[in-house]
Amino acid sequence: MSARLQECTVAANREVAPGHALVTLESGIGAAAEPGQFVQVSLDGVAGAFLPRPFSFHRAADDQFQLLLRSVGPGTAAIVATRPGERLTVLGPLGRGFELQRAIASGGSLTLVGGGVGVPPLHHVADFVRAGGAGSEVTGAKIDALVGAATAELLLAVDDLRAIDVDVRVSTDDGSAGHHGLVTELLHDELGAAGGADGRGRRPGCVLACGPHPMLRAVAKICRHSDVPCQVAMEEPMACGYGVCLGCAIPAAAAPDRYLLLCKDGPVFDAEQVAW
């Protein structure tokens, strides 16, 4: 494991949606980061945030990386409130990311499915592939994204994805943009169309998904029905983030009393590994 503990300077912090910040940190931690991996941000001193808080990479480069986060409690509120020049202690990169070689090799195109604040690791995937991180031969691979949120203003990273040649379809719970309903309905529709006689879609090589647990469960089910490989980036309360506390266990499909460690075996899993 090559995770490092480092004090990073906040280079920029911008509100990208109500209650959501895109935070740029100056650090070499992102240099080796793979999409789906995460960092632990220490908030020692922030009341109500004793343990570090995990966040996916949204974008990572050699000398800086970005987090896109939603303020839901004391830890995220403190990070959202940081100003350029302030410092945060960060541990990373941690965990196992998406297996992109396998995902792309198995069919050529990727379909990303993101719900709410599950979009960052999927944005990282698209950004990484386009920058040649997954190999120059797949830089131009076809990438579709299905992005869901509660309302239009909470749809994340849609313009950024379109700017790097990702085909984006959106859904909102209130119908204020795109499909009025769940993002999983868009997926159902895509895969149905891909398999159907109208030939509208191409069958994706792999579906990569991140979002709330019920959404991931539905995505896994749809993919299994359509026989499309699926990788999911999951969430679970964590303490250490590097595999020693054994607190972040999730039940494995293999046996009811076998557990996977989210921080070490994941946070990305093949959907078939997980007991949904």
Partner 1 sequence: MVSGDRSDSLATSVGPLRLRNPVLTASGTFGYGQEMASFFDVAKLGGIVTKTVTMRPRPGNPTPRIAETPAGMLNSIGLQNVGLDGFLRDKLPYLAALDTVVVVSIMASTAEEFGELAGELRVEGVDAIELNLSCPNVSYGDGGQHVMFAHAPELTEAAVAAARAASDRPIVAKLGPDVPDIAALGAAAQRGGADALCVMNTVPGMVIDTAAKRPVLARGSGGLSGPAVRPIGVRLVYQLCAALSLPVVGVGGISTAEDALQYLMAGAHAVQVGTASFVRPTAAHDVLHGLQEYLQDEGSSVEALIGAAQRKGESNG
Ligand X SMILES: Cc1cc2nc3c(=O)[nH]c(=O)nc-3n(C[C@H](O)[C@H](O)[C@H](O)COP(=O)(O)OP(=O)(O)OC[C@H]3O[C@@H](n4cnc5c(N)ncnc54)[C@H](O)[C@@H]3O)c2cc1C
Among 220, 273, 261, which Cα is nearest to 96's?
261
35 touches 110 (CB < 8 A)? no
Contacts of partner 1 in 46-105 (CB under 8 A): 48-52, 89, 91
Confirm or reject binding of residue 39 to partner 1 (CB under 8 A).
Answer: no
101 touches 139 (CB < 8 A)? no
110 touches 141 (CB < 8 A)? yes
Helices 183-195 and 213-226 pack at an angle, to 10 degrees, of: 10
Which amino acid type is present at position 103?
A
Q: x/- binding map, residues 238-257, to ligand FMN, per CB under 6 A?
A: -------x-x----------
Q: Which does 258 bind (CB under 5 to 8 A by kind): ligand FMN, ligand X, partner 1, none?
A: partner 1
Cβ-based neighbours of 8, under 8 Å, separated by 6 or more: 25, 26, 27, 29, 87, 88, 89, 90
User: In whole angstroms, how close is the CB of 28 to ligand X at the nearest point?
Assistant: 20
Confirm or reject binding of residue 178 to ligand FES (CB under 6 A).
Answer: no
Contacts of partner 1 in 154-193 (CB under 8 A): none
Q: x/- binding map, residues 241-270, to ligand FES, per CB under 6 A?
A: x-xxxxxx------------xxxx------
- Region near partner 1 per CB under 8 A, out of 17-25, 26-34, 98-106, 248-256: 248-256
Determine the Cα–Cα distance for residues 233 and 187; give it in Å rounded to an integer. Answer: 17
Q: Is 30 helix (H, G, I), strand (E, B) or coil?
A: helix
Confirm or reject binding of residue 224 to ligand X (CB under 6 A).
Answer: no
Query: Which C-beta is closer to ligand FMN: that of 28 or that of 243?
Result: 243
Site residues for partner 1 per CB under 8 A: 1-3, 5, 42, 44, 48-52, 89, 91, 236-251, 257-259
Binding site for ligand FES (CB under 6 A): 238-241, 243-248, 261-264
